[in-house]
Amino acid sequence: MKTAFIYTDAYLDYDYGPTHPLKIIRLKLTYELIRAYGLLAFPSVQTMITRKAEEDDLAIFHSREYLNALKEANEGHLGEYAYSYGLGPGDNPIFTGLYNWSLLVTGATLQAVDFVAKGEGEIAFNIAGGLHHAMRSRASGFCYVNDPVIGILKLLDQGKRVAYIDIDAHHADGVQVAFYKTNKVLTISLHETGYTLFPGTGFEYEIGEGEGEGYAVNLPFPPYTDDEVYVWAFEEIVPPLILAFRPDVVVTQLGVDSFYNDPLTNLQLSMAGYEKVIRQIKELAPRWVALGGGGYDVSNVARAWTLAWAVMNGIELSEELPKSYLEKAAKVGVYEKELRGGPKFSPSGQSKEIRIEVERIVNYIKGKVFPKIGA
């Protein structure tokens, strides 16, 4: 099996700002940990240097007016209509190179798509990608350009049947909107409920419209959902749908903000639960385009995506993190020494109620969605 890892240190030329929760240094830490474990040295692994996408690539989804606004923001200027495009102080700040950053992120996703679609290999991983909130003409949730949508559209152009699985703690609203009325893409999003977390969407009854009815699937979890309930729900819903839909390519967004110690969210997953899900995705995907996503504890991101890359390549890793990585991590205030760490469970007294609610949602999906897909 051949795999590709796409990365460049040029990511570090860009910065959302000192108070913004999305820290681009997490990409560098992930790369350094993967390299320290020797996971890029195998003959089956191809390391690709990220290439920028072209504007025409972005325009297959985004409006030209919006792209012009991003280009204006690229110089660090707040344009006349910036706010109407979701740009400005807050989640989607304007910073120098914003458009160039978006071109790099999307370019890496397109490299991953080409690698898989052309049969050069089975799995490609773009850790910088997965910016799933961006809409056609609006930035949202730290996302300026929706690289998952653009990648999926490229796969559709090549006649591929695509399933999208998103395990970020936030609902994959931008991807869902893009494909809500078509049966050509099956979108599955597992996330914290919109009642308690941005973007406030992704409820189980959002199942698509018209030809797309049944092809949008949402598993919204209550706050404090732990490994046991999360993995159970994943196993009940995702494998039957993927097996029934029979995609040529599975595109995933592997956000790490579902962990118990993420500063922005309220789920309670551990590295163990995350690993179980990654292993199941590998079994389900005939070909796999893997994208990064959220994750606001940088140590969690580096360790989880390194573990995911190891799973993709069929490698078992030692629990003790390599010394060469620990030295570099310490320089940016990261001190964890174990790959997985220990489990974390829901606060006492809430597990039963959470299980009942998730069972209700699972049964709803089985009743409303499974017959549409033939699961």
Active-site positions read 133
**β-bridge mates for residue 7, sequence order:** 49
Nearest to 109 by CA among 65, 157, 171, 58: 58
Distances from the Cα of 92 to the Cαs of 67, 120, 129, in angstroms?
15, 36, 16
Tokens of 154: 């490229």
Which ranges of the chain would DSSP assign to H, the alpha helix? 25-36, 55-58, 64-73, 98-117, 147-157, 173-178, 227-245, 271-284, 298-312, 323-330, 351-368, 370-373
Coil, helix or strand for 143?
strand
Contact between residue 122 and residue 1 where contact means Cβ atoms under 8 Å apart: yes
Tokens of 28: 């560098």
Amino acid, single-letter form, for residue 6: I
Nearest to 187 by CA among 157, 204, 162: 162
Contact between residue 275 and residue 309 where contact means Cβ atoms under 8 Å apart: no
The vertex-367 CA angle with 175 and 197, nearest 5°, equals: 40
| CA count, 13 A, side-chain hemisphere, 156 | 18
Identify the residue whose tokens are 């204006």. 72
Contact between residue 251 and residue 213 where contact means Cβ atoms under 8 Å apart: no
Distance (Å, rounded) from C-alpha 83 to C-alpha 321?
44
Furthest-apart CA atoms within the chain: distance in Å = 55
